[in-house]
Structure 1
């Protein structure tokens, strides 16, 4: 048995880029930064940032393209996939990509790099129904505690 599962929570390093393959499915790519912080032997705070290439397919990719922007905080769950390529210097390299199967937008609406409603949900034509008004709880007379509850147990 083997498992290939990745869970990341981070911020987008750039706006998502979406392209469409011939059958019409969307592929959305973006970079995601995750941070790790610790204190070194001298007590100084150290930070390491890892950058991850993320790809989302289909409807999930379209949603990401529509609502995510550089700086948006996001939860990604998926798998890691490697690919080989030859660099400009002629050396063969390996890149690792995250293929997302689940995405959750985190943070508030203004978490992106600019101050607009980047992550706002689309407006709906029908407003949601108003929540029913809550009635205050009615006062019930309290009964005094039973001192010896063991006598009432039948076993």
Structure 2
């Protein structure tokens, strides 16, 4: 059976990007995205249905997002779904959250004459510059960044 895990979204940031660093120094960014869908209600009136999505970006893309993006800015995200699971410290119950790990983050025009610069600062998305040695786009961190972390995945 074939598998495909691909997500394409266009929306507006719900907060300023937040960046932290792994012990090995790789940047990890957290973005909140609001995606609207126009739907007709039972009275034939159009309304917006909003979905809020958490996005994770890695490397230079995370640093550029923090540098250039702010709440309300439009972005195009191409990435994959990832399910995070953990035990709640207060209740001890299993918790889970579905998020997007971005592989491409494209800045969209802000409506004020600002350009739609991509996360890499050039004319193309981060994933189109493979000759650079630093992690690009939504690339995952090196496995050594997470030494000592347990992995419950059975394969």
- Larger gyration radius, structure 1 or structure 2: 1
8 A Cα contact 1:15 1:30, kept in partner: yes
8 A Cα contact 2:5 2:81, kept in partner: yes
1:41 maps to: 42
The one of 107, 110, 113 aligned to 2:109: 107
Structure 2 residue matching 1:24: 3-state secondary structure: coil
8 A Cα contact 1:16 1:28, kept in partner: yes
For 1:44 and 1:90, the matched residues in 2 are separated by 44
For 2:68 and 2:76, the matched residues in 1 are separated by 14
What are structure 2's unaligned runs of at least 5 residues?
119-155
TM-score for the superposition, normalised by structure 2? 0.67
User: In the TM superposition, what is the alpha-carbon distance from 1:4 to its structure 2 partner?
Assistant: 0.3
For 1:7 and 1:120, the matched residues in 2 are separated by 18
C-alpha root-mean-square deviation of aligned residues, in Å?
2.4
For 2:92 and 2:112, the matched residues in 1 are separated by 43
**Cα–Cα, structure 1 residues 14 and 53, in superposed 2: closer, same or farther, change >3 Å?**
same
1:29 maps to: 30
**Cα–Cα, structure 1 residues 19 and 5, in superposed 2: closer, same or farther, change >3 Å?**
same
**Cα–Cα, structure 1 residues 23 and 110, in superposed 2: closer, same or farther, change >3 Å?**
farther
TM-score for the superposition, normalised by structure 1? 0.67
Runs of 4+ in 1 over 4 A off after TM superposition: none
User: In the TM superposition, what is the alpha-carbon distance from 1:109 to its structure 2 partner?
Assistant: 6.7
After the TM superposition, which residues 49-68 of structure 1 pair with which residues of structure 2 at under 5 Å, given as runs? 49-68=50-69
Structure possessing the higher relative contact order (Cα contacts under 8 Å, 6 or more residues apart): 2
After the TM superposition, which residues 1-155 of structure 1 pair with which residues of structure 2 at under 5 Å, given as runs? 1-87=2-88, 88-108=90-110, 110=112
8 A Cα contact 1:109 1:120, kept in partner: no
User: In the TM superposition, what is the alpha-carbon distance from 1:120 to its structure 2 partner?
Assistant: 8.0
